[in-house]
Each structure stands twice: as C-alpha cells, then as structure tokens.
Amino acid sequence: MNYKVPFVNPAKQYQNLKKEILSVFDNVLSKGDLILREDGEKFEKSIADFIGVKYAVALNSGTDALFLALKAANIGPGDEVITVSHTFVASIAVIVNCGAKPVLVEVKDDFTMDIDKIEAAITGETKAIIPVHLNGRVCEMDKIMAIAGKHNLIVIEDAAQALGAKYQNKMAGSFGLVGCFSLYPFKILGCFGDGGILTTDDEKIAEKARLLRDHGQKTKTEIVCFGWNSRLDNVQAAFLNVKIKYLKEWIDRRREIAAIYNNGLKDIQGIELPASPNSDEKHFDVYQNYVLKAGKRDELSAFLKEKGVETLIKDPIANHQQPGLGLSHFNLPYSEKLAREVISLPMYPELNQEQIEYVIESVKKFYC
C-alpha cells in the first residue's frame, strides 16, 4: 500500500544523504576495508565521546550488545536478572539465551521500569538489572543505581531506543556497567542493515566484549576463549560515520515533531500522550517512538490506515503472555493493559509539516 504518511521512510533519508553515502561506499570497497578496520574504530570513538564513556564496542546488533554485556559480566545459569515485560522481546531473550532466569517487573505510565517494584523482585540469586529506556525516555537511573548499589547488583542499560536521551543531564548508556544500543535501520542512528554498540567505562568489560564479538581471537594466532561472530561490518561503520554528523539535528527534529503532535492532539478525549519535550527538567527524551495510549486502539489503527497513515502496534500481546516463551507465571496487569492500548504514530526527522498535520487531523477525525 502506498501510504500518504508511511510509518518509516528509509528511502527518503538515503536520498538526502546519497552523495555522501555513495562516496564512502566507493571509498571503503575500493580499499577493501571490510572487517574490523579503521571506520569501525572511528565510529567507536565517536560514540564513546558522545555518550561520555571511555570505551565503545561496535557490534552486529543491539541484541548482541545486550547478550555480550551479560556474558562479559559473567552472568549465566543459576543467576536471575530483573527486567520489564513491556519491551522488545530481545531485552528478555538475551537473559534466557545466556542461561539465566528473567524476572519481570511492571513499568510506570511513562513505560520506564517501576522502581517501586524492583526490591520485591530481588532474591539471593539476583545478579543484574536491565532497565529499558523505552521509546527514548531514560528510566529513573539515580534510583535504580542506588538500589543496585545497596544489593550489589550489576546494571546493564538497554538503551537500544535511547541514543542521545538523558536523565538529570547524563546520557543513557553512561549510568550502568554497560550501555547497549541498537543501530537497526529505523533507530535514531541506524545502519543500512543491522548493527549495535555497547558502551562502558570498564576496561575489562570492553576487552571481553571485543574478544567475544570475534571468537575470542586476541591476535591472529591466539584464541583466549570461545566467542561468537558479532562484529559490525566496516562498511556499515563508514555509513554511520556519515550519519552521526546529523545525530543532534535529527534528535532536535524528533523533539520538535513530538511537540507539534502533543500540541495538536492535546484536547482529544480517549488518548493519552507522551510527555512533551522540556515538560520535566529531569528528562531529555529523544522520541525513538511516539507512542499513544489509545482507547479503541485497533479501530484507530484501521481508521488511520484507511486515511493513508501507517501506524505500528508492536506488541499486542504482552511478552509474558506469549504462550511460547514460558513466562506466563508473571502477573503484570499494567503491562497487559498497555499491550491492549499502545499505538505508535509515524516519527522520523524526514516527516514534513504537511504530513504531521495530516496525522493530527486524521486522529482528531476518529475521536471527534
């Protein structure tokens, strides 16, 4: 279907950057610099500087950033890790995949981890907390770090959706032992394919993650542990080195669009909007997703589709209620309610004013 306002528009971004992208593509391929080369190192340095940490390790996905973070922190069988159900399933999958047990807690009405629920979930086996900065809003990290400190727990931030987001003026990915970001194409900063990166101030964690992403190869001849192939392609890093120049501009634009949406939609009964940019001095949100809680959500989505506005209902079934995942022992009524109510509107820097206004008018038409 040809939407008047598509949910994402990667082709438009490519058109805007085409000259620069084709030039680096030609440059990298002409040199034959494909695996673990200079462009990757340059990208790692840019991200470490941007987040304000000592190290960044470029990887093939946000999922492997989380997985290798857990492995590098020696989390495995017999350990419990606390995270939320209301997230992309990867946040939970990595815990299971490293042999540990996920313990799921509720989120608050801004979709961040409910800090009042954490301590009740801690047992003698708990080793780590994975707070998820969903939709580009950072969890209450001061409180999470305090709880973790009190109980001697590791914190691994799932910042997959939060590159550039801040809490109390500090960047997502700089609070915990490790921060994990996704560079999936539709993220705030995305590859033309999959990618991810982890950030840390801990030299040993960075070293271990570098080994684990490359089959434990310390040098060409020395293998010091078993690992995986989780490397970011050098050509993708070169593309990211182009795109990162626009990161601040893109974040500002996302915040601007969120403000226009919020202003246009504020008087509608039946929907709940995300917090506006600058509405609370602790949070600097980057609006990876613009998510409404909507009564008659499925009808709204169908109506918008008819009007040519593409929306996303990502997880209509809460993760812990997915029959195949073995998590149905968790009772998380608020997360279940959110699964029935949330809907994402188009949100990307390339949206134009006419499209934004059209989305607002179309939502208004449905409810008014």
Ligand X SMILES: Cc1ncc(COP(=O)(O)O)c(C=O)c1O
The answer to whether residue 160 forms part of the interface with ligand X (CB under 6 A) is yes
Location of structure tokens 């990867």: 90
Question: For ligand X, which is the closer residue by CB, 173 or 196?
Answer: 196
Tell me the closest approach of the beta carbon of residue 59 to ligand X, in angstroms. 9
Is the Cα dihedral 291, 295, 297, 303 positive or negative?
negative
The answer to whether residue 161 forms part of the interface with ligand X (CB under 6 A) is yes
Tell me the closest approach of the beta carbon of residue 140 to ligand X, in angstroms. 17
Cα-flanking dihedrals φ and ψ of residue 123, to 5°? -125, -175
Among 126, 174, 182, 355, binds ligand X (CB under 6 A): 182
**Which three-class secondary structure string do you get for 211-226?**
HHCECCECCCCCECCC
The answer to whether residue 102 forms part of the interface with ligand X (CB under 6 A) is no
Q: How many CB atoms lie under 10 A from the CB of residue 270? A: 15
Residues 11-70 interacting with ligand X (rule: CB under 6 A): 61-63
The answer to whether residue 88 forms part of the interface with ligand X (CB under 6 A) is yes
Tell me the closest approach of the beta carbon of residue 113 to ligand X, in angstroms. 12
The answer to whether residue 132 forms part of the interface with ligand X (CB under 6 A) is yes
For 144, the enclosing helix (H) or strand (E) is helix 141-151
The answer to whether residue 158 forms part of the interface with ligand X (CB under 6 A) is yes
Tell me the closest approach of the beta carbon of residue 293 to ligand X, in angstroms. 18
Residues 189-248 interacting with ligand X (rule: CB under 6 A): 194, 196
Among 9, 91, 174, 200, binds ligand X (CB under 6 A): 91
Tell me 75's DSSP state.
-
Dihedral, 227, 89, 11, 274 alpha carbons, nearest 10: -130
Strand 101-105: give its sheet, edge to edge: 55-59, 196-200, 178-182, 154-158, 126-129, 80-84, 101-105
What are 176's two structure tokens? Answer: 């915990």
Question: For ligand X, which is the closer residue by CB, 288 or 355?
Answer: 288
Residue of 23, 28, 64, 63 whose CA lies nearest to 43: 28
Which residue has the closest beta carbon to ligand X?
A: 62
Tell me the closest approach of the beta carbon of residue 221 to ligand X, in angstroms. 31
Interacting residues with ligand X (CB under 6 A): 61-63, 87-88, 90-91, 132, 158, 160-161, 182, 184, 194, 196
